[in-house]
Amino acid sequence: MQFANTKQIIKCLLQLCMLFFAASQFTSASEKASKTTGEPAYLTVKSFAKTSFSPARKETFVIPISVQANKSIRKIDVEIRSNDDDLIRAISFKDFKKKQTDYEIVWDGKDSEGKLVPNEAYFPVFIVTSASGDIQRIDKRKASGGEELYDFEKRIRNGVIEYTLPHQSRVLVRTGIKNGPMLRTIIDWEPRSAGFHAERWNGYDLDNVIAIERNPKVGHLIIAYRLSEYSIITYGNDKQSYRAYREAKKWPLRQSSYQDRILERNGKLIRPEYYMPVLQQKSPRISVAMLDVKRKPLAVLKGLDELITEVKIHPLDEIYLDQERYEISFFIDNEFIAEEEQGFVPFTWRWSPGRFGIKPGDHVLTINVSGYSGQVGVKNIAFTLQDSSAN
């Protein structure tokens, strides 16, 4: 019996040795592969002459590269990818010439189907195949981008918000009432090139019921975070949004990627939005209905009458908000009156304006749906409250 146990022990030790050998072989292969995924010494991506262009105006974008040892390279593939890592276009370059080191790769701003891409930021990923078959990849998205930008030059004037960005960035501009509701997202995490920008708007909310700029308590939020190196911004396509483009492609919704998330780089805070899909960063689209207790649209609103306010979120936006907590807040004439901290939809709120001390006259009901990742959906509804004694 003891002999049998000894044989089993020896057998187990042999199996462990074999596993260790296999693991060491696998590690060696992994180490070899890792050496081929860094930035190759023989390929350099040179500075871009510009960082944005308009495919709608038939402009093209030139990506300059420099090859140090062109005889060892079989081809260079450039993958144009979206912020959600969708492969938009693949461009292959093989035309290497003796004694020539500088080349230009040109993108016309179209996808693989020949369609103009929507206004957004895109990222070239370089895949170099050597003559011996080794593959090396240059992707700057993990080594750069996401750094929060807050302290940059800003100026608020009637009808225009001006700012100067030190780097290519994704920008958020919101306006609302200090210690009150958020009333409008003017720029919703849109990509912008470095330099001066003037964002023009009409001074009203999107429902066109509140003159925001005329309120003495108006406040603005202007923040940004850096795009990664080699980012290319397209503009001028007024026919299709990024959201509509992805929906037309029937691409699945992307999930947040926090696996490789870092909190700071070189002492700079990394915004969590950098790791979110583009559409998850956007303000959720909400709809609101004011109904009587029989759930019919209200024609007349009286002080002590009860009514139902029903809040809904667009199904695609609801998918993202359901991944985190969100709250629903209610304001009348910019004053807070109620909230549901653990939001759900459709959400039904039954209430009476008279019991909140709302006096007869013209008023505005504002609803904010606020995700815990910073998204805010807004709806403003103007209504007239009659005296309870009125016929």
Residue by residue, DSSP assigns 162-228 as EEEESS-EEEEEEEEETTS-EEEEEEEEEEE-SEEEEEE--SB-TTS--BGGG-TTEEEEEEEEEPP
Residue 70's pLDDT band (cuts 50, 70, 90):
low
Does residue 54 have a pLDDT over 60? yes
> Which two structure tokens, joined as six digits, stand for 166?
């030190």
pLDDT-wise least confident of 173-182, 235-244, 346-355, 373-382: 346-355
Q: How far is CA 21 from CA 17, 25, 123, in A?
A: 6, 6, 40
- 383: closest CA among 285, 289, 314, 313? 289
Of 279, 307, 329, the residue at which a domain comes to its end is 279
Domain assignment present for 68: yes
Does residue 72 have a pLDDT over 90? no
Does residue 305 have a pLDDT over 90? no
Q: How many domains does the chain have?
A: 3
Residue 134's pLDDT band (cuts 50, 70, 90):
confident
Domain assignment present for 21: no
Of 105, 138, 171, the residue at which a domain comes to its end is 138
Q: 153 and 258 share a domain? A: yes
Q: 97 and 130 share a domain? A: yes
**Residue of 304 and 117 predicted with greater confidence:** 117
- In 10 A of CB 327, how many CB atoms? 14
Q: 157 and 274 share a domain? A: yes
Q: What percent of the chain has pLDDT over 90?
A: 62
Q: How many residues does the chain have?
A: 391
- 84: closest CA among 296, 267, 273? 273
pLDDT average, residue stretch 29-57:
68
Does residue 96 have a pLDDT over 60? yes
Residue recorded with tokens 């990923």: 125
Phi, psi of 158 (to 5 degrees): -60, 120
Residue 234 CA neighbour count, 13 Å, CB half: 30
Residue 88's pLDDT band (cuts 50, 70, 90):
very high
Q: 119 and 169 share a domain? A: no
**Which tens digits make up the pLDDT trace of 226-245?**
999 999 999 999 999 999 99
Residue 210's pLDDT band (cuts 50, 70, 90):
very high
**Residue of 328 and 98 predicted with greater confidence:** 328
Domain assignment present for 24: no
Q: Are 367 and 182 in contact (CB under 8 A)?
A: no
Residue 270 C-alpha from the chain's centroid: 14
Return the CATH number at 106.
2.60.40.4070
Range of the domain at 112: 43-138
> Which two structure tokens, joined as six digits, stand for 222?
């202007």
Domain assignment present for 29: no
Q: 374 and 291 share a domain? A: yes
Q: What is the mean pLDDT of the chain?
A: 86
pLDDT average, residue stretch 27-53:
61
The pLDDT assigned to 389 comes to 65
Residue 41's pLDDT band (cuts 50, 70, 90):
low
The pLDDT assigned to 282 comes to 94
pLDDT-wise least confident of 43-47, 147-151, 298-302: 298-302
The pLDDT assigned to 22 comes to 32
Domain assignment present for 11: no
The pLDDT assigned to 131 comes to 80
**Which tens digits make up the pLDDT trace of 148-183?**
998 899 999 999 999 999 999 999 999 999 999 999
Q: 239 and 336 share a domain? A: no
The pLDDT assigned to 64 comes to 94
**Which tens digits make up the pLDDT trace of 31-40?**
333 344 445 4
pLDDT average, residue stretch 358-374:
92
**Residue of 298 and 233 predicted with greater confidence:** 233
Q: 292 and 381 share a domain? A: yes
Residue 108 CA neighbour count, 13 Å, CB half: 8
Q: Are 176 and 235 in contact (CB under 8 A)?
A: no
Q: 265 and 160 share a domain? A: yes
Residues 6+ apart with CB under 8 A from 261: 270, 272, 275
Sheet holding 195-200, edge to edge: 154-157, 160-165, 195-200
Q: 152 and 272 share a domain? A: yes
Kindly report whether the peptide bond that precedes residue 277 is cis, defined as omega within 30 degrees of 0.
no
- In 10 A of CB 137, how many CB atoms? 15
Domain assignment present for 130: yes
